[in-house]
Amino acid sequence: MTAHTAPRGLPIDPALRAYLDSLAPPPGTPAPATDAQMLAARRAALAGALAARTEIAGLPNGVAARDLRIAGALPARLFTPPGATGPLPLLVYLHGGGWAAGSLDTHDPFCRLLSGAAGMMILCVDYRLAPEHPFPAGLEDARAAARWACAHAAGHGADPARLAIGGDSAGANLAAAALNTLAAAGAGAAFKAQLLLYPVTDHPSGGHASYAENATGYGLEAALMRWFWKTYAPGVAPDLPEVSPLRHPALPLLPPTLVATAQYDVLRDEGIAYADKLRAAGVAVRHLHAGDMHHDFPALPGTVGRFPQCATTLAAIADWLKATLG
């Protein structure tokens, strides 16, 4: 695996610390005792974030959204910015949630914001979730969505010559793994950009220091991330590149990539290491690191409208997409 040096962190944003503390369960609250209770709690937590969508200034921001079925029966939501004229770039987006939670609704606010800021269409994909559908179901859906975009983008007002693929957290893992396999098979040339927001790139057995440094108190906890892995990929070899892109023996030819990481995130070090691995493979990489923020900071409705760093990062992502896709 690629060696790297973690950026020097800033003290955590005091307002973020207060916000994270407000999310902690009251003292004495029993932890979920079973996998079923844990799964229900995680799905409810992400769904609960929808209540904060009205905190985002500008929503609704004029971005149109319509639900459709792609690649057979796969649910998806297509976002189109206002005033669109002519074919637009299209981002195939895989939402986060530990491969076991999240939906089109949980990431609707972020997709609207990014679509409007970048002036591009976004196709958010409702891939199958674990444990009902463990690996490789989500990855298969990600690849199917990518192939669908290549074949059908033009029919929906998008430019098939300006496609991107990306996601956040576990969704970024699916995006990276899908593009790696497509590119290795000679089918990835249509994608001109890759967007990986605080990506999962390695199995917890990789021993990254950020797992210990940020184990508790920052939203995504180390124990929860290990539970997500157990739920998504039971019995799967940790070094399989389709689940751990950082362990890929030789990355294929890939497009320019933006990697975003946060200092107070268990996934910090594997995200930084993957950016380094991409650079070593000759990929043009833009790395955005938030030195005082946590996992999910630019995407969750409760934080985007609350912290200036979120708006700054969102604008940087949008500017990079516009510059990269033209």
Catalytic residue ranges: 169, 265, 295
Three-state SS for 94?
A: strand
C-alpha–C-alpha distance, residues 271 and 248, integer Å: 14
- For residue 308, the tally of other CB atoms under 10 A from its CB is 9
- Give yes or no for a contact between 119 and 88, defined as CB atoms under 8 angstroms apart: yes
- For residue 238, the tally of other CB atoms under 10 A from its CB is 14
Do you find a cis peptide bond into 131, omega within 30 degrees of 0? yes
What CA–CA distances, in Å, run from 24 to 64, 236, 258? 35, 32, 31
- For residue 3, the tally of other CB atoms under 10 A from its CB is 6
C-alpha–C-alpha distance, residues 158 and 87, integer Å: 5
